[in-house]
Chain A
Amino acid sequence: MDYFLVVLLQIVGAVGNLALISVGLAVIFGMMRVINLAHGEFIMLGGFAAIFSVQAGINIWLAMLVIAPLSIAVLGVVIERLVMRRLYGRMVDTMLASWGLSLLLIGLATTFFGNRVVGIAAPVGSFRIGDYSLGAYDFVLAGIVLVVFAGGYAVLRFTRAGLIARATMQNREMASSLGIEPSRVYAITFAIGSALSGLAGGLLAPISGVLPTMGVAYIAKAFITVITGGASVITGTALSSTLLGSINTVSTFVTTPVLGDVALLLAATIFLRLLPTGITGRIFKGAP
């Protein structure tokens, strides 16, 4: 009984984790059809931002929830201005350029921060279920993810900005013919997406530590979660995180963590073969 409860809670943790590392990428992909391969490095830099702030004596919650997202949003705006703006509409080129940025950021982080893991202690401890000890932080994290997704859903569903965003997602030409300036929408989208990646990095810093090359571990998972989710940013990412997070956890329990990751990627690959436009491309069409 305890065992199943533990597995269930682990699944919740894994789903939250997957949703967290994917949502920034999902926002940028859903709105702009840009696959930001530097997403993993945004997460990494968000982690560094949080850790350096904590080391400078700033409150850990402030560092994770405010400073990490804000600093990566600024980075995102700069990158959008300097590079991405020149490549809109050329999907393959945006992927290549962001891959270049990814390498560049890894190189810069290695040069300035050193090639070693730095970490901070989680702000909350652990609790026990029967013989099992579980980190309470995982659930704080899942809670924050829930708030982010609920907030995102509400904004998209009920506000004017959300309406504009959904219009842009559905039909770019239509949005610009409504007098909405696409370049501004893109800049804001990129900033929000980057901020969410930074938030993910900040929140993950206490769990995994931060290393310049850590982004690689996230990009494939995030990538595949977003694409499995399909066109709708919030609904799609939530659904695919749930699906893939469950598969990952269960197969990790049955086999090893590495094979668990392999199962996740394999499942997503087969899934894409069956539903090439993702879950929300076929089933939950039009959800925000």
Chain B
Amino acid sequence: MTFSTFSRAGSIHIALAAIAMLAAIIILPSFAPLYTLINVTLYMSMGVFALSLALLWGYGGILCFGQSAFFGLGAYAYAIAAINFGDTTLAAAFAIVIPALFAAGLGYFLFYGRLSDVYLGVITLTVTLILFKLINSTGGDAWRIGEARLGGFNGIPNTPLLTVPFSGVPLSPAQMFMLAAIMLFVTYALCKVLIVTRFGRAVIAVRENEMRAELLGYNAKRLKLAVFVISAGIAGLAGLLFANSVFVSPTMFSLSMAAQVLIWVVVGGLGTLFGPVAACFALQIATAALGKLGIVDPNIVLGTVLVVFVVFVPGGIQPALAALHAWIATPTRQSRTLEKVAR
């Protein structure tokens, strides 16, 4: 079995994702109860968040322990801008641009300082904690940006909902659901296309072997910075969608948020895009159900899943499923053995 990282089979996956997205948009709002719709919207915003790290870590090889920094920053940027502008369309752009700019500054510091992977993890984690602490301490009237009160650990409950551009009419939950579904699809398609462009392949080259990439004339630092910035923008978009399905609060910066997204990528499989999104949906549904039952603390589930996957299923579910599929699809025992030998 030959496996090609550069394959262009992506178009089939994009088409399948488009069909799934359309099916969800057409079918779900007509019969699902409102709270289900809102929950699925929330899961979709998390799906976008999962994609941001799937791209950065799985293809860029950059393990960011503090991806939630960009997620929270996007939500806060949106909320503050929307309250001040009184219009949400421009504010939505802020949700993507501000985290991206922040990532550009931070990334310049990290990559051009030639810090190794582990320190990169430490520093991104630290940055998230700094933001978490800072935002938590912004209770009271003194802490405001323009019209917007930062609200400390209460967050910004009065975050304006996205409106239909230039009309001032807020989106209904069903419309918000559709927007989230479309955004999840668009992000997926964007990542999928990105990884087969010349830029994407160069990014993969840097992940595989930074020194060789540089010896071939690729500017590894700039490529890493670029994928870091793109990933932060996607995380900001996820924050925007999250802010519109729940509300803006400091927990978006929290370590458990940073851990969750990491777990989705580990479980879904490094170097895949569909896997992390699927894992994100599955784990969120599972933890929500367990939380409702109140028997098991969600942390126990997430922690156990992370340990088990790192130790026993290091490739995540998608490669494991693919291997299983190949095994089942191989008709006779003899050829199975042959394949094993070939491997």
Binding site for B on A (CB under 8 A): 35, 83, 86-87, 91-93, 95-97, 99-108, 110-111, 216, 220, 223-224, 227, 256, 258-259, 261-262, 265-266, 268-269, 272-273, 276
Contact = CB atoms under 8 A, between A and B. Distances in A.
A121 B299 CA distance: 30
Contacts of B307: 83, 97, 100-101, 104
Given A86-B311, A276-B113, 18 more contacts: A83-B307, A93-B310, A96-B310, A97-B311, A100-B302, A100-B304, A100-B307, A101-B303, A103-B256, A103-B299, A104-B303, A107-B298, A107-B300, A111-B300, A258-B137, A262-B134, A265-B126, A272-B122
B119 interface: yes
B190 interface: no
Contacts of A87: 310-311
Contacts of B130: 262, 265-266
Contacts of A265: 126, 129-130
Interface string B113-156: 11111110111011101100110110000000000000000000
7 contacts: A91-B117, A93-B314, A220-B126, A262-B130, A268-B126, A276-B114, A276-B116
Nearest to B109: A273
Contacts of B136: 258
A272 B119 contact: yes
Nearest to A261: B133
B262 interface: yes
Contacts of A223: 122, 125-126
B303 A100 contact: yes
A99 B262 contact: yes
Nearest to A95: B121
B117 A103 contact: no
Contacts of B301: 107
A104 B134 CA distance: 27
A224 B263 CA distance: 23
Interface in B285-316: 296-307, 310-311, 314
Listed residue (A93, A104, A216, A258) with the most chain B CB atoms within 10 angstroms of its CB = A104
Contacts of A262: 130, 133-134
A110 B300 CA distance: 10
Contacts of B278: none
A104 B300 contact: yes
Identify the 3 closest CB pairs spanning chains A and B, nearest first: A104-B303, A100-B306, A107-B299
Contacts of A101: 303, 307
B77 interface: no
B18 interface: no
Contacts of A83: 307, 311
Nearest to A268: B126
A244 to B, nearest CB: 12
B299 A110 contact: yes
Nearest to B260: A103
B118 A91 contact: yes
Nearest to B118: A91
Given A92-B117, A262-B130, A108 B300 contact: yes
Given A269-B123, A272-B115, A103 B311 contact: no
B306 to A, nearest CB: 3
A35 B307 CA distance: 15
A35 B121 CA distance: 11
Of B119, B303, B304, B305, most A-chain CB atoms within 10 Å: B303
Nearest to A40: B255
A94 to B, nearest CB: 9
A96 B258 CA distance: 12
A220 B129 contact: yes
B119 A104 contact: no
Given A83-B311, A220-B129, A35 B118 contact: yes
A95 to B, nearest CB: 7
A111 B297 contact: yes
Interface string B206-218: 0000000000000
Contacts of B117: 91-92
Nearest to B128: A220
Which of B122, B256, B296 lies at the interface centre, i.e. has the most chain A CB atoms within 10 A of its CB? B122
A100 B115 contact: no
Contacts of B298: 107
B229 interface: no
